[in-house]
């Protein structure tokens, strides 16, 4: 009789409550059924699947499928405070410090020469049975020819800072973890160690305890006892120094009202490092911007009779860099210092460098030999990087959702912006029950009114952006491109890690290698891109360009973060690739053609495998030589036969001394002449020379995540006719076999390692 769908719910009687309940249930069922079958639902499902495909494709292209070697079971976990590690530096003065790798320190046993920073990491501590997330705040104690390293280690289990200690008997090249020197119920850091009256003292930061404590060594270096509480103040990063007849205590108190964190400094004085401390007349000495360097950043030092203080610049992030200040006046009433150049070279490889994002602590001391040694901590990511990446990634995903909603409105799949009102138009005439329910839920009522206002934007957008026009379609395409870019950004920040392509340690050591490529004038475009890319890789020390023909370029023409050396050859010969070069400063050489582009992570993985087997040719392009007669074939053939016995040296790591010596030997003269005759086969020859000199395995394969042959874009490929190139190589195989033995007697299976790097 004209009654609405829900008219019975308003009638009186005892069943009114049940009718209301049934009405609401029916309303929800109709709402759900309509939405599940609506075009809006299918639009969102299609959008979700499309962007999932985009995200998967991006992940496949951008992220390496190969896992890093297993970390210690408990240590080296991701930590919001960072991934600090410690490096060693040498110099003729505290202002000429250079990293250990620049001094050519060699360590034969681990194939880690020259030794490279960092020399001490969380793995160094964790592998010794003391789980650690990071190591920082290093202080040296020199005892004869033995160096003791005291440092903060963040316990991976308790998440508390403890004081660890290690020792070195080779001037810091290698370190033996001794244990935990000090463990309290509160956070400890900044273990300032010093001598006084033939006793050894340690004054770590105990700000969490609310006081500054000093400990005395009972049995150095592992057993300490509390000597006294120096001050009932939560000082951070404090040190004591003897100067002009007094002892001076420098530290920062961030607990006071109005104190600028990392920008405050106080000074106290006494006639003994254990005595009663009196505040400096001008305290606080600093309460300024955190970039100034007010907070201490290591041990003060004397040089040419002057006192220097090390401070932290915390402007961009906590511990961004150190600053060095020369103290010009220090009395009970006055203090003046001026900044001087630190002499520390700023890392240029960004997150690929172990200290590329920040370095905030330096302890430099003079050795009995007259030289200076320094220990410095560093981190490749800024403070709070993981949280920052999560926020940015989540924001990008939210924007993608907004773009999907916007596109849905434009194409008409979404009738309104807020889902709460999508289906109300199709419910028929509204009953009195629903307004009654709304009145009992005031917040919901207000929300629906807000949604109603917001949904008025939908027809407005469709009215101004018409997809039937070229401009409308262009706007839609642009929006979709932005959406694809945003989903890639979101995936990168959330799942892509810090973005660093780190070096891989071997037996706790890092090292460096030299890159060597052979080219000529027509391939300069390739070379510039090659140098710009690979000079950013973490372990690259130098790039040597063997220039075979034409006018050589100037090194200033290249955008490089490492030294580039042009070695001009007298004649155009492929043998020049393996000429002895006494200027090469590393044991490892990566022979890599200038037209091959791969990720730094792939290069670092190859270096890691070579360091494990430095007597082998370790590379990225495998071949299988077999058959009667022997025939040269491509990688596809090797995979179809399940193995390989040759590695192309156009992309391979070799021992610079062993390989060049073998190739330059009298025995190899026959092969070198054949290489000149055919202008081909130099890499085949080196493989034969390795096999001829060894009865064990001579090659190892590492599969790159991806590799691009840039010569196909530049049109200057050396081997344009593949079949002719292979025929020449087959001839070389026959002649080399007659002279140097049969290479086909060996065969090594793919996926022979347990890390999945050679599948």
What is the dihedral angle through the alpha carbons of 208, 209, 211, 212, rounded to the nearest 10 degrees?
-70
200/149 Cα distance (integer angstroms): 14
Phi and psi at residue 416, in whole multiples of 5°? Answer: -145, 160
Cβ–Cβ < 8 Å for 750, 759 = yes
Cβ–Cβ < 8 Å for 133, 149 = no
Annotated active-site residue 198? The verdict is no
174/107 Cα distance (integer angstroms): 9
Output the six-digit token pair for 631. Answer: 């025939």
Q: Which of 393, 424, 344, 410 is nearest to 58 (CA)?
A: 393
Q: Which of 602, 683, 700, 758 is catalytic?
A: 683
723/447 Cα distance (integer angstroms): 72
The helix-helix angle for 39-62 and 470-495 (nearest 10°) equals 50
Residues 6 or more apart from 537 whose CB is under 8 A from it? 349, 352, 501, 600, 603, 604
The helix (run of H) or strand (run of E) holding residue 445 is: helix 442-455
Structure letter (DSSP) for residue 324: E
For the chain, give the number of residues.
Answer: 759
Output the six-digit token pair for 538. Answer: 């973490």
Phi and psi at residue 245, in whole multiples of 5°? Answer: 85, -5
**Residue 517 Cα distances to 548, 590, 591, 725, angstroms:** 10, 8, 6, 20
**What is the C-alpha radius of gyration for the chain, rounded to an integer number of angstroms?**
34
Phi and psi at residue 505, in whole multiples of 5°? Answer: -75, 155
Helix residue ranges per DSSP H, 665-705: 669-678, 682-693
* Terminal alpha carbon distance of the chain: 77
Cβ–Cβ < 8 Å for 744, 689 = no
Q: Which of 500, 580, 566 is nearest to 531 (CA)?
A: 566
Long-range contacts of 206-213 (CB under 8 A, 24+ apart): 207/234, 207/235, 207/236, 207/254, 208/234, 209/184, 209/234, 210/234, 212/238, 212/251
Structure letter (DSSP) for residue 292: S
225-262 burial, b for 16+ CB within 10 Å, e for fewer? eebeebbebbbbbbbbbeeeeebbbbbbbeeeeeebeb
Phi and psi at residue 473, in whole multiples of 5°? Answer: -65, -35
Output the six-digit token pair for 221. Answer: 């270096």
Helix residue ranges per DSSP H, 127-254: none
Residues labelled catalytic: 683
């Amino acid at each position: 009789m004209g009654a609405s769908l829900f008219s019975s719910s308003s009638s009186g009687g005892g069943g009114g409550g049940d009718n209301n309940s049934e009405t609401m249930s029916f309303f929800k069922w109709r709402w759900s059924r309509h939405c599940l079958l609506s075009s809006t639902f299918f639009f969102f499902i299609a959008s979700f699947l499309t962007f999932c495909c985009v995200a998967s494709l991006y992940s496949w292209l951008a992220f390496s499928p190969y896992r890093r070697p297993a970390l210690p079971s408990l240590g080296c976990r991701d930590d919001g405070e960072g991934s600090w590690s410690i490096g060693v530096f040498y110099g003729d003065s505290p202002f000429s410090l250079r990293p250990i790798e620049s001094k050519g320190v060699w360590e034969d046993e681990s194939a880690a020469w020259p030794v490279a920073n960092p020399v001490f990491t969380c793995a160094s501590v964790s592998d010794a049975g003391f789980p650690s997330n990071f190591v920082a705040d290093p202080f040296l104690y020199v005892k004869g020819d033995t160096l003791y390293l005291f440092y903060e280690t963040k316990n991976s289990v308790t998440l508390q800072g403890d004081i660890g200690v290690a020792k070195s008997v080779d001037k810091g090249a290698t370190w033996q973890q001794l244990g935990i020197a000090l463990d309290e119920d509160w956070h400890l850091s900044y273990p300032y160690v010093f001598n006084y009256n033939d006793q050894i003292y340690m004054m770590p930061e105990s700000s969490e305890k609310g006081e500054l404590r000093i400990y005395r060594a009972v049995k150095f270096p592992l057993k300490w006892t509390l000597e006294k509480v120096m001050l009932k103040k939560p000082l951070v990063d404090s040190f004591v120094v003897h100067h002009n007849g007094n002892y001076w205590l420098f530290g920062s108190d961030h607990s006071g009202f109005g104190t600028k964190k990392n920008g405050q400094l106080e000074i106290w004085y006494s006639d003994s490092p254990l005595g009663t401390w009196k505040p400096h007349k001008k305290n606080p000495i600093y309460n300024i911007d955190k970039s100034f360097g007010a907070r201490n950043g290591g041990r003060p030092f004397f040089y040419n009779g002057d006192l220097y203080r090390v401070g932290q610049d915390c402007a961009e992030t906590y511990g961004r860099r150190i600053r060095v200040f020369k103290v010009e006046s220090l009395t009970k009433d006055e203090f003046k210092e001026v900044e001087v150049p630190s002499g520390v070279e700023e890392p240029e490889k960004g997150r690929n460098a172990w200290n590329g994002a920040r370095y905030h602590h330096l302890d430099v001391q003079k050795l009995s030999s007259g030289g200076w040694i320094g220990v410095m901590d560093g981190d490749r990511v800024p403070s709070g990087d993981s949280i920052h990446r999560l926020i940015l990634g989540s924001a990008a995903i939210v924007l993608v959702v907004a773009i999907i909603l916007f596109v849905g409105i434009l194409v008409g799949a979404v009738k309104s912006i807020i889902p709460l009102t999508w289906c109300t138009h199709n419910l028929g005439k509204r009953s009195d029950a629903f307004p009654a329910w709304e009145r009992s839920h005031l917040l919901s009522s207000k929300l629906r009114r807000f949604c109603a206002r917001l949904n008025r934007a939908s027809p407005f957008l469709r009215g101004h952006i018409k997809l039937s026009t070229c401009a409308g379609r262009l706007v839609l395409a642009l929006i979709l491109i932005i959406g694809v870019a945003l989903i890639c950004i979101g995936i990168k920040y959330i799942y892509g890690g810090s973005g660093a392509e780190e070096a891989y340690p071997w037996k706790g050591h890092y090292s460096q290698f030299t890159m060597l490529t052979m080219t000529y004038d027509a391939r300069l475009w390739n070379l510039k891109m090659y140098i710009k890319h690979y000079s950013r890789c973490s372990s690259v020390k130098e790039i040597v360009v063997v220039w075979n023909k034409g006018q050589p370029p100037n090194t200033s023409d290249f955008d490089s973060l490492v030294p580039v050396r042009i070695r001009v050859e007298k004649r155009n010969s492929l043998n020049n690739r393996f000429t002895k070069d006494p200027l090469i400063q590393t044991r490892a050489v990566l022979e890599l053609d200038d037209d091959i582009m791969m990720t730094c992570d792939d290069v670092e993985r190859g270096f890691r495998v070579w360091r494990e087997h430095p007597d082998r040719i370790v590379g990225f392009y495998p071949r299988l030589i077999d058959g009667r007669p022997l025939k040269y074939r491509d990688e596809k053939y090797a995979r179809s036969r399940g193995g390989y016995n040759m590695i192309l040296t156009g992309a391979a790591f070799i021992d610079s001394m062993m390989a060049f010596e073998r190739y330059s030997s009298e025995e190899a003269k026959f092969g070198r002449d054949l290489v000149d005759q055919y202008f081909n086969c130099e890499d085949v020859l080196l493989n034969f020379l390795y096999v001829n000199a060894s009865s064990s395995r001579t090659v190892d394969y590492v599969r790159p995540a991806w590799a691009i042959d840039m010569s196909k874009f530049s049109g200057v490929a050396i081997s344009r006719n593949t079949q002719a190139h292979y025929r020449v190589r087959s001839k070389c195989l026959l002649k080399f076999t007659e002279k140097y033995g049969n290479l086909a007697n060996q065969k090594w299976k793919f996926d022979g390692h347990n890390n999945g790097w050679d599948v």
